Amino acid sequence: MIRFWKISTCLITVLGGLAFAGISPTELAEYGSAVSVFVTKGVRDAIPESVELQRLGVILGKLEQQVGSQKQAVATAKVDLEDAESEFQMQELACTRLKGEMQQLRQLTQTSDAACVRTVGYRGVSSQDIRQALAARLQSWKQATERCSALQVALQQRRTAFERLEEQFSEWQSKRELLAQRMETLKIRQQTQTLAADTDTATIDDADLARATELADAVDRDLRIAEARQAIGLDPLDIIAEIPASADSDSLESEVDRILNGAG
């Protein structure tokens, strides 16, 4: 890291020198761009993976905070869609009601004489009044039908927008959860690499162990030699020095010969 900052400082110093050396602004800008790319790459390379993983955790935390606002947007769009559907249904009912009233008025115009006056409630209604009412209902029906068509188009657009929003939110949620799982996997991999690196760089002093092993080998060799010597048996000459010297060698030899010859 220190080496990188030294190089960066050196490069900036060189650029400063170029600025006073008659280099054109265009060339100086090109040098600046090259140094900027180098510095950026150096900074990124100098950042350890553990820091980048922590940064990823910060971003995931921000995404976690956005979940509430995302759900609020989807819920609001859903309620708006339901309101639009209710409004459209009410407008359809209004069109149906106006159409029914037109049918009733039309029947009255067909069965009534022009000079005939009908009583509706406490009011006398002439054929002209019926035609005027029919014309008013027709105008209202046209306006209601036009508004109903506009509401239907708006409803379809709102439904399409809601479905797209819901799909985007579901995809966003899936990607966020997948990213969280991926971060956990990366953490485990990074910890494994760190442990492996620490193990590789660890130094174990085995000097005492080597000396102890060498000493044990030497003792084992001496014991094996002693055991082999015992298995072979003693050399008769080894005990010559242990027997007292006898002045009468003839009697000694005669006694040995008797023993060896079985004379008892």
* pLDDT value of residue 78: 93
Q: Give the pLDDT score at 81.
A: 94
Is the pLDDT reported for residue 173 higher than 60?
yes
Question: Residue 90's pLDDT is what?
Answer: 95
Domain boundaries, the chain: 1-46, 48-196
Is the per-residue pLDDT at 102 higher than 80?
Answer: yes
Q: What is the CATH T-level fold of the domain 48-196, as seen in this structure?
A: Helix Hairpins (1.10.287)
Global pTM?
Answer: 0.50
- Degrees (nearest 5) of the Cα angle 134, 137, 142? 125
Beta bridge partners, 118, equal 125
User: Can you list the alpha helix ranges (DSSP code H) found in the chain?
Assistant: 2-19, 25-46, 49-111, 127-201, 207-232, 249-260
Instruction: Check whether 2 has a pLDDT greater than 50.
Output: no
